[in-house]
Amino acid sequence: MSSSPPRYKRAILKLSGEALREPGSTDNISPEIVERIAREVREALAPGDVQLGIVVGGGNFWRGASASARGMDRATADYVGMLATVMNSLALQGSLEHHGVPCVVQSAIEMKNVAETFIRRKAERHLNEGRVVIFAAGTGSPFFSTDTTAALRASEMSANVVFKATMVDGVYDSDPKKNPNAKKFSRVSFHDCISKQFKVMDATAFSLCMDNHIPIVIFDLGEVGNITRALRGESIGTLVNGEETVAA
């Protein structure tokens, strides 16, 4: 594995909640997957020259949009989803600390018995002092996804990049699970992501990163070592930025 220095000083890592569940398992969180993620983060941060914030989704427990489609009030459904992200964040915090990575959970919804309340300047201080900050409970408001949370926190923290670790290995022109001839992009512009409605992130997240000139790297969380490769600046997955779209 390459030990070249990372291209980014401060990064936001967005983890899919669903990716924390073992495929086919009835358990919402796989301790083994969470531990693997923690080990990879520890390895990536070992040189000490990357500051890292993490946003975790809650899809392994709950999806507000799905519950709303089945008749639940959307705002209430989204608040339930925010609490799901807190559970995932606490599980990840426990594993990171077990592996010697100092970290803190900051929640956008006040719950002082289990997490700090999100305060931008305090989060900035944690990052500068070498702690991983896990941003929980989304934006604290309904109708916003955790992808948008990652883009928002990246903008607030002046991050150099958003890494989205998900269940696909990049951006395709169509669903590769349904279309065996789907074309993968090595680089894709923000404009194309928004206008062509690529579903790897929502339009609000893309727009926030575009407006603040923050590139996004989308890669497969399932492949062992990918988190370390991404955080160390290796070419991986698909890069989303302001430049032209290029096929892989």
Domain chopping of the chain, boundaries: 10-247
**Torsion angles phi and psi, residue 13, rounded to 5:** -105, 120
Average pLDDT over residues 181-205: 91
Residues that constitute the known binding site for UMP: 58, 78, 139-146
The pLDDT assigned to 172 comes to 92
Residues that constitute the known binding site: 14-17, 58-59, 63, 78, 139-146, 166, 172, 175
- Model confidence at 4: pLDDT above 60: no
Specify the CATH number for 10-247; select among 3.40.50.11860, 3.40.190.10, 3.40.1160.10, 3.40.50.10420.
Answer: 3.40.1160.10
Residues that constitute the known binding site for ATP: 14-17, 59, 63, 166, 172, 175
How do residues 12-30 score in pLDDT, each as one tens digit?
999 999 989 988 888 999 9
Distance CA 99, CA 89 (A): 15
Regarding pTM above 0.85, the answer is yes
Residues 5/47, Cβ–Cβ less than 8 Å: yes
User: Residue 23, Cβ neighbours under 10 Å: how many?
Assistant: 9
Distance CA 146, CA 138 (A): 5
Helix axes 203-211, 146-156, angle to 10 degrees: 10
**Torsion angles phi and psi, residue 92, rounded to 5:** -70, -40
The pLDDT assigned to 246 comes to 80
Average pLDDT over residues 96-104: 97
The pLDDT assigned to 1 comes to 46
